[in-house]
Amino acid sequence: MPKGGWREFSGSESLQRPESPSAQPPKSLQRVRVQRTKAGKGGKLVTTITGLVAPEAEARQLLKRLKAGTGTGGTFKDGVIELQGDHVAAALAALEHDGYRPNQSGG
């Protein structure tokens, strides 16, 4: 046998690398949750959007449209969009318009 001729997995071309983790699922298959909460906000009501798998630039554009549409402030941190106040209905409508299938979570 020539040098370097032995291969443990020869003939196994079906062994492929899995898809890269950066490949995001289609918008219609993502589990996007919209809920209102007061937790950790000093008693203030905020609307949170979680489970959004999108590039940061796209999420920030969505946040910008939500803030302009509701007339409130908000932030994007740790993959969660937070809007000041109770804007669950507006967030659900905006996400549906963008092609997501959001669900309201909580009460």
Please state the φ and ψ torsions of residue 84, each to the nearest 5 degrees.
-75, 130
In a domain, 41, yes or no: yes
Confidence of residue 105 (pLDDT cuts 50, 70, 90): confident
In a domain, 76, yes or no: yes
pLDDT in tens, 72-88: 999 999 999 999 999 99
pTM of the model: 0.73
Paired strand residues for 37: 46
Sequence-separated (6 or more) residues with CB below 8 Å from residue 35: 47, 48, 50, 88, 104, 105, 106
Percent helix, strand, coil in the chain, to 5, is: 25, 20, 50
**Number of domains making up the chain:** 1
In a domain, 72, yes or no: yes
For residue 91, the domain's CATH number is: 3.30.780.10
pLDDT in tens, 23-53: 778 877 888 999 999 887 788 999 999 999 8
Domain extent, residue 76, equals: 27-104
The residue to which tokens 């979570």 are assigned: 105
In a domain, 55, yes or no: yes
